[in-house]
């Protein structure tokens, strides 16, 4: 990559909060209802870059680390039952302010409060079956990505439309 482009990207990132990564996971109900492709398409249309993708059966151990702040809540056993009831599709997306943007795209946890146009507003049926997870902070995303992915499972690749996506307006 030419030096002037690299410097330009660093300049843009310093003003916009920078390129981030976030974890997005299609939960078992989203997989069962065949929404994986629609959810991926929403993130691609938004201009984010997919750098990690896998389908897995989440273990109790992984979930206890992922939901560590909820372990003592009375609904935790039901949450684990739900999250282990079928496969999960875990993804890592990259882009400018991707954490905050993803949370807005996904919508509030309760689908009844989620606006139309959000993933949960359009696809979810119940607060305990809300189709998708998205990291809630940059720090949370970093922690969750390390739980769900090994470093070698994440790809660094140059997206051809990157120079257009991050082009500065004149």
Strands (E), the chain: 19-26, 49-56, 88-96, 132-134
Among the options 66, 126, 133, 162, which is catalytic?
133
Query: Does residue 126 carry a catalytic annotation?
Result: no
Handedness of CA 170, 17, 162, 98 (dihedral sign): negative
Residue 33 assigned ligand-binding role: no
What tokens appear for 12 in the block? 């843009």
CA gap 105, 63 in Å, rounded: 23
- CA 75, chain centre distance (Å): 23
**Is residue 33 classed as helix, strand or coil in its secondary structure?**
coil
Residue 21 assigned ligand-binding role: no
Residue 130 assigned ligand-binding role: yes
Residue 42 assigned ligand-binding role: no
What is the residue-wise DSSP string for 102-115?
HHHHH--SSGGGSP
Residue 84 assigned ligand-binding role: no
**Residues forming the annotated binding site for ATP?**
27, 75, 103, 109, 120, 130
Please report, in range form, the residues annotated as the binding site.
27, 75, 103, 109, 120, 130
Q: What are the residue numbers of the active site?
A: 133
């Amino acid at each position: 990559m030419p030096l002037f482009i690299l410097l330009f990207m660093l300049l843009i990132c310093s003003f916009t909060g920078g390129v981030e990564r976030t974890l997005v996971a299609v939960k078992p109900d989203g997989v069962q209802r065949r929404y994986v492709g629609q959810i991926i398409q929403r993130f691609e249309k938004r201009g984010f870059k997919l750098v990690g993708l896998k389908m897995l059966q989440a273990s109790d151990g992984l979930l206890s680390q992922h939901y560590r702040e909820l372990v003592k809540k009375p609904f935790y056993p039901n949450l684990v039952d739900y999250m282990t009831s079928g496969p999960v599709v875990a993804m890592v997306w990259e882009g400018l302010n991707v954490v905050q943007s993803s949370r807005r795209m996904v919508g509030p946890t309760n689908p009844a409060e989620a606006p139309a146009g959000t993933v949960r507003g359009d696809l979810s049926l119940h607060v305990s079956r809300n189709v998708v997870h998205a990291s809630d902070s940059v720090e949370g995303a970093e922690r969750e990505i390390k739980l769900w992915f090994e470093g070698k499972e994440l790809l660094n690749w140059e997206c051809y439309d990157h120079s257009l996506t991050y082009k500065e307006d004149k």
